[in-house]
Amino acid sequence: MITGSDRCGGKMTDPFLDSLATALAGQLATALGTAGKQAVSKVRELVRRRSQRDPETVAALEAAEQPSAGPEQVTALAERLDRACAEDPEFAEQLRAEGASVHRMISASGNAVVNENHGNVDKLIQAREIHGGITFN
């Protein structure tokens, strides 16, 4: 796992924080059940409480929560969470404790498919199982 002190020039974020940022942005709402949504709500409340003294993090959270948010906003939120964790070890500990179930649901769930695409794509399919063929025309 990559932590704040392991980062190469600040360009990579911790996969744990990436998954939390994606969930906070609402991009996994259909993949998370009721328990997952409740867990995300607890994480969101924790981030909002901490953000009362951190306007950059609250701005990143609000931008990621917008319906038009894309990968850039989610990445910006993950980076802000990473910085907040590096600055505040107590917050980092709380975030990891509260977010552990969300991260597990996202990364280990046999029911969720998380697909991330960056760049221009002509045709893209996301599927759990395909029986038969796929034809692109």
Q: How many CB atoms lie within 10 A of CB 9?
A: 5
- For 36-58, how does the pLDDT look when each residue is reduced to its tens digit (9 = 90+)? 788 888 999 999 998 888 889 98
Taking CA atoms, 130 is separated from 106, 133, 135, in Å, by 21, 7, 12
Plot region of 10 (φ>0 → left; ψ -120 to 50 → alpha; else → beta): left
Residue 18 lies inside a defined structural domain of this protein: yes
Residue 33 lies inside a defined structural domain of this protein: yes
Checking if the pLDDT of 59 tops 90, the result is yes
Confirm whether pTM is higher than 0.85.
Answer: no
Residue 119 lies inside a defined structural domain of this protein: no
Q: How many CB atoms lie within 10 A of CB 51?
A: 19
- For 15-32, how does the pLDDT look when each residue is reduced to its tens digit (9 = 90+)? 888 888 888 887 666 566
How many structural domains compose the chain? 1
Domain holding 93, by residue range, is 8-108
Q: Which amino acid is at 130?
A: I
Taking CA atoms, 76 is separated from 80, 97, 131, in Å, by 6, 22, 38
